[in-house]
Chains A and B, each alone.
Chain A
Amino acid sequence: MTVEINLRRESIAVMAEGGMSPQKDTPAPSKVNLVCRYFIHGVCTKGSDCRYIHDRSGSVPSDNICKFYLSNKCTYGENCRYQHVKREESRRSTQPVKSISNSTSVQSQPRERLRVSSDSRQSQMVTLSKKGLDHSIEQSQKKKAQDLKWAQAKAFVPGQKYNGACPSSYAAAIGGNDSDVTPQRASQEYASWNERESESSSELYNLTSHSVATKTGGLPLALATADTPLCPFFANDIPFCDETCKHLHGDICDMCGMPKLHPLNAQKKEEHTRECLERHEREMKEAFALQASEKKECEICLENVLQQKSRRQTNTDRRFGILENCNHCFCLSCIKKWRGNKDSSIEMQKFCPTCRTHSDFVTPSKYWVETSEEKAKLIKDYKEMLKSKPCRFFKKGKGECPFDRKCFYLHALADGTVVERNQVKRRRRTNAEGRQEVMDENSNLWSFINRRNMNFDRNEFLSDLLDDVVEDVISNVNELTRNGFRCHCWSCTQNLALDVENALSTLEVFPPR
């Protein structure tokens, strides 16, 4: 610990010098015998003009390693400003750098927060990871052997304790998971570490050598209470945390293999176990669903739905379009296209392209659903989800939705009140040809005439129109007389309700039949 503090002081001194000097107005002397700290971090803008040494050999500062790379999450890839080296490599590369002296003339000694270089092992600073240093070659060989053994990894059986992926102890983990790390040996290491740790950091923690930390690194249990939060880095296997960590480290959970169990708080422990179980169940379900969907081919494009090449770059890619009433498999984009095909009749569009079963709607799904229960659930969930989305026809009450009550989307006014009743009332009637006709009750005469104009011959149209006009007039007149009105424009008739035909005769536009 003391060495580390010294190290820091030195490097700060080095940095202060290195960082300030370029701004001085001194004529550019020959190279200063220091490594450019900007260069080390990859941001030196001076290039070859820089007075400081641009040489990275053997000195990768530990804080220049990409933290995200270490946890395999770096999204920058090769463009990352930080170095993509594993700690093992960087440590190895720091080994040749000689000695730490107390003078300030140390050159290019990187700030090693996490590990001290090999020579400093003579100091009191003892780390568990030294084992890894000494046996780096041996370890790499072992690693190779392990890589070969991956196929013989222990299989995971749901409901049984799984130790295949996670080391049984921290010692096993740092020892490369090899079997030669016996619990005895591990505990010896812990003991020695505890001893030295307590010596060196007693001024910080005032620990007695008898306080036994059952976890490697982290806060000893004796100092923790049920409310002590767990170290989030250790729990999530983020390599920020090492044996110098001063936070509480949890027990390893059998389900997820992560040290996430709170050693003292039974409630939290239980909570995590439940969460783990739930997640596991969810993952299993997903895996089964994926397996069931993997080999499904769309019956329209004949391609495997999940492996489909993204030809349209839309969100309908690689999803299934589930039809309500039959069990044929289509990809969402194909079935949508089929149902939107202008060249086929409305009835054909609603049919399944394979079996011609009528389905009113298509449900998008990430996975194929085989059983009817699954399908019912999927459709129910889908409808529930749509209920929260505002209908684009209804437009918060400003528009009219052609689907009315059958619409899956939310019909809510601007103030948020949900409209339950349909806005548009429809009337069904049989027309002269004996066909069923649907009319909007509040449609006006002109829209009706316009519709009719499209496809009727004139005589038929006129007689139909007259029928409708008479009907219209009767209803209007009835309405008026009911309300006690006398209509002035129909002056020739004494009683409007009785003699509408007569009334019509006065109109030039609509001569009576």
Chain B
Amino acid sequence: MANIAEQRIKREFKEVVRSDEVAACNIKVELVNDNFTELRGEIGGPPDTAYEGGKFKLEINIPETYPFNPPQVKFVTKIWHPNISSVTGAICLDILKDQWAAAMTLRTVLLSLQALLAAAEPDDPQDAVVAQQYKENNAIFQRTARHWTTAYAGGPNTDTELEEKITSMKNMGFDEHKARVALSTKDWDVTRAAEYLIS
């Protein structure tokens, strides 16, 4: 790994990541290996959103050319968001692509992601299904997102109605996660979700 990238990650760890401000914003970064190429991040869902109370894990890969090129970040925790793939966790965020600037740090990246959770960009979607739901049926989107937060990110709000629907799908012999994806995609219509899974 290029010396400059390693030096910088070390510095970011020392000066930025471990600061009080970071702790207050529910941001965490930790090392996976010793050579500073792989990191694991965690952001808390922003308050007053569907993601409130959840802890979202991120996988961060530092390229050799960092900080001249952006770090590769994706969600490990499943999340229901127009700009984040519900399948792969890939993120559509300009600063992680062509709008990256060398003065940005891991801290700013994580804060940007937090901001992205609070303000989605449905016109520039990563997950078309989610984006469509967000635009056409926002109430269901909010409910789905909250449910996903509870199911995968340890959120506090349990939605018994949605839980029951998943249980009924499970009773039909479907896998829980697949059932959840199908129900979320089909606006929580059990029949359509079952049809979707069978076809």
Interface residues of A in 256-305 (CB under 8 A from B): 299-303
Taking CB atoms and an 8 Å cut-off, the chain A residues in 207-221 that contact chain B are none
Whether B69 contacts A343 by the Cβ 8 Å rule is yes
Identify the closest chain A residue to B63 (Cβ). Answer: A343
Q: What residues of A have a CB within 8 angstroms of the CB of B161 in the complex? A: none
User: Does B65 lie within 8 Å of A299, measured CB to CB?
Assistant: no
Assess the B3–A334 pair: CB atoms within 8 A. no
Residue of A with least CB distance to B9: A302
Total interface residues in chain A, CB < 8 Å: 20
**Which residues on the B side are within 8 Å of A299 (C-beta)?**
102-103
Q: List A residues 327-355 near B (Cβ within 8 Å).
A: 328, 334, 337-338, 341, 343-345, 348, 351-354
CB-CB nearest in chain B for A338? B102
Knowing A311-B4, A337-B68, A343-B69 are in contact, say whether A300-B102 is a contact too (CB < 8 A).
yes
Shortest Cβ gap from B29 to chain A (Å)? 15
Complex partner residue of B68 from A302, A303, A328, A338, CB under 8 angstroms: A338
Query: Given that A302-B8, A302-B11 are known contacts, is A354 also in contact with B103, CB under 8 Å in the complex?
Result: yes
Question: Which of chain B's residues 72-113 have a Cβ closer than 8 Å to chain A?
Answer: 98-105
Report whether A348 and B15 are in contact in the complex, using a CB–CB cutoff of 8 Å.
no
A309 and chain B: residue at smallest CB distance: B7
Q: Are A341 and B68 in contact (CB under 8 A)?
A: yes
CA gap between A343 and B69 in the complex, in Å: 7
**Across the interface, which residues of B come within 8 angstroms of A343, CB to CB?**
65, 68-69
Cα distance A468–B178 in the bound complex, in angstroms: 58
User: In the complex, which residues of chain A have a beta carbon less than 8 angstroms from the beta carbon of B11?
Assistant: 302-303
- The interface on chain B, measured as residues whose beta carbon lies within 8 A of the other chain's beta carbons, has a size of 19
Q: In whole angstroms, how far apart are the Cα atoms of A244 and B11 in the complex?
A: 61
Cβ-defined contact, A344 with B98, below 8 A? yes
Say whether A356 faces chain B, with CB atoms less than 8 Å apart.
yes
Please determine whether A301 and B100 come into contact, CB atoms closer than 8 angstroms: no
Shortest Cβ distance from residue B96 to the other chain A in the assembled complex, whole angstroms: 13
Residues in chain A near residue B7, CB distance under 8 A: 301, 303
Among A301, A341, A345, A354, the one with the most B-chain Cβ atoms within 10 Å of its Cβ is A301
* Docked complex Cα distance between A337 and B4 (Å): 11
- Cβ–Cβ contact A353 & B103, under 8 A: yes
Decide if B12 is an interface residue (CB 8 Å cutoff). Answer: yes
Residue in chain A with minimal CB distance to B5: A301
Tell me if B67 counts as interface (CB < 8 A to partner A). yes
B residues less than 8 Å from A356 (CB atoms) = 101
Residues of chain A within 8 A (CB-CB) of B104 are 353
A327 CB, nearest partner CB in chain B, Å = 13
Bitwise, A300-318 to B at CB < 8 A (1) or not (0) is 1111000000010000000
Contacts of B68 in A (CB 8 A): 300, 337-338, 341, 343-344
Kindly state the separation between the CA atoms of A28 and B101 in the bound complex, as whole angstroms.
81
What is the bound-complex CA distance between A302 and B7, given in angstroms?
9
**A300's contact among B3, B67, B69, by CB below 8 Å, is which?**
B67
Distance in angstroms between the alpha carbons of A328 and B103 in the assembled complex:
10
Task: Please tell me if the beta carbons of A301 and B103 are within 8 angstroms of each other in the complex.
Answer: no
Expressed in whole angstroms, the minimum distance between the Cβ of B19 and any Cβ of chain A is 13
Please name 15 further chain A to chain B contacts, defined as beta carbons within 8 Å, in addition to the given A300-B102, A311-B3, sorted by A numbering: A299-B102, A299-B103, A300-B8, A301-B8, A302-B105, A311-B4, A328-B103, A338-B102, A341-B65, A344-B68, A348-B99, A348-B101, A352-B101, A353-B102, A353-B103
14 contacts between A and B (CB under 8 A): A300-B67, A300-B102, A301-B7, A301-B8, A302-B8, A311-B4, A328-B103, A341-B68, A343-B69, A344-B68, A344-B69, A344-B98, A344-B100, A348-B100
State the B residues within 8 Å of A (CB): 3-4, 7-8, 11-12, 15, 65, 67-69, 98-105
Complex A-B, nearest 5 residue pairs according to Cβ-Cβ distance, in ascending order: A353-B102, A353-B103, A354-B103, A353-B101, A299-B103
